[in-house]
Structure 1
């Protein structure tokens, strides 16, 4: 795993955008497309705003969600709502291919299967070119939350959490899918993440994030979050 540390969250967002833009150029040149899944949080939306400034073949970029809250369309809790706000007024509105998780479906299990099928069809056998992940203060990533039954799911690539987290059930990508990504991009900001970042870097299996394969991973973080690294 590679780790790069910057002075502020804003700088992390800018560097993450540069990293993604470079990966887009590489993959579009090599195979004509780029597939990516994005998580929620605070810094990712600034990252997307920076990324939108890049002159890229956006029509060849396929953007999926890592996870989503089960909430109505346009609800502020939804990651998709925040994504649309981030790209509002940019070229990405018309050119970027966005595939939302269908969390308002009557049958959420069928919606998971449908999403998994979309991923398989548009990626190389379910292998994303890049998956962006964040890190919670409890060690969760995606919606893989400590103690939830979804942590044990091995026969599905997209699943619904067993319990609510912060008041809502979630739809999430699972370990089997995340761990076969060509690149994992961790974007971790905030002093409150310091302990969990250190545990992540040591691949502590007692936290959900510690079970993510780090062989093809890079961590972009800020100084305040890296004070406990040893």
Structure 2
């Protein structure tokens, strides 16, 4: 794993935006599109706000969600709500191809299959160019929660958590999908995550973050 340490969460967000912009330009030049999945969180939203200012062919960029809470449309718990707030008033709102997880569906299992279909259709292979990940103080990443059955899913790209986490059931990308990504970008900030960051870097299989492939992965942090 490539490790980049910065002085603050703001610098992490800035450097991440620049790195993603460079990767997007390279992928668009080589194959005509860029497929990107984003997780939620304060630093990622700052990153996305900075990325929105980059001069990119946004109509050739396809943005997916890594995970989402099962909550009503427009609810503050939803990552999509926060994402739209970040992008409100920017040119990305009309030019960027955004694929929301359909967590208000009456059949959430079907919604998982449909989202997998969107990924396969827009990548051609099911392999995303970039997946951004964060990590919780308990070692979870995406909505792959310690002890939840979703961590054992092997034959689905998108799945539901078995139990609510912090009050909400989740829809999430699974280990098989995440681990086949062309690139993985970790943004990890916040002192409460120091212990788990060390365990993740040591590939500790007792925490979900430790099960993510470190091949083709970049870590940007202010903790080391």
1:3 equivalent in structure 2: 3
1:129 corresponding residue in structure 2: 129
Question: What residue in structure 2 maps to residue 92 of structure 1?
Answer: 92
Quote the offset at 1:42 in angstroms: 1.3
Tell me, in whole angstroms, the C-alpha distance in 1 between the residues paired with 2:94 and 2:65: 18
Residue of structure 2 equivalent to 1:146: 146
Separation in 1, partners of 2:145, 2:13: 24
CA deviation profile, 1:9-38 (whole Å, cap 9, x unmatched): 000000010010001000000000000100
After superposition, the CA RMSD in angstroms is 0.5
Distance (whole Å) between structure 1 residues aligned to residue 173 and residue 121 of structure 2: 16
Separation of aligned partners in 2, 1:49 and 1:61: 15
SS of 1:199's equivalent in the other structure is helix
| 1:77-110 deviation digits (Å, cap 9, x = unpaired) | 0000000011111111111000000000000000
In the TM superposition, residue 217 of structure 1 has moved relative to its aligned partner by 0.3
Match in the other structure for 1:70: 70
Distance in structure 2 (CA, Å) of the matches to 1:101 and 1:109: 12
Matched, 1:192 2:201: no
Aligned length: 224
1:17 corresponds in structure 2 to 17
Structure 2: tracts of 5 or more residues without a match: none
Give SS of 2:5's match.
strand
**1:124 Cα shift?**
3.4
Q: What CA deviation, in whole Å up to 9, does each residue of 1:151-186 have, x standing for no partner?
A: 000011100000000000000000000000000000
Where structure 1 has 5 or more consecutive residues not aligned to the other structure, the ranges are: none
The reply on whether 1:214 has 2:214 as its aligned counterpart is yes
Q: Under a length normalisation based on structure 2, what TM-score does the superposition of the two structures give?
A: 0.99
Match in the other structure for 2:115: 115
Post-superposition Cα deviations, 1:179-229, rounded to whole Å, max 9, x if no partner, equal 00000000001111111111111111110000000011000001xx22xxx
Query: What secondary structure, in the 3-state scheme, does the structure 2 residue paired with 1:48 have?
Result: helix
> 1:41: how far off?
1.3
| Alpha-carbon distance in 1 for matches of 2:124, 2:8 | 35
Q: Within 1, Cα distance between the matches of 2:50 and 2:90? A: 11
Deviations 1:110-156 (A, max 9, x none): 00000001101101310000000001000000000000000000011
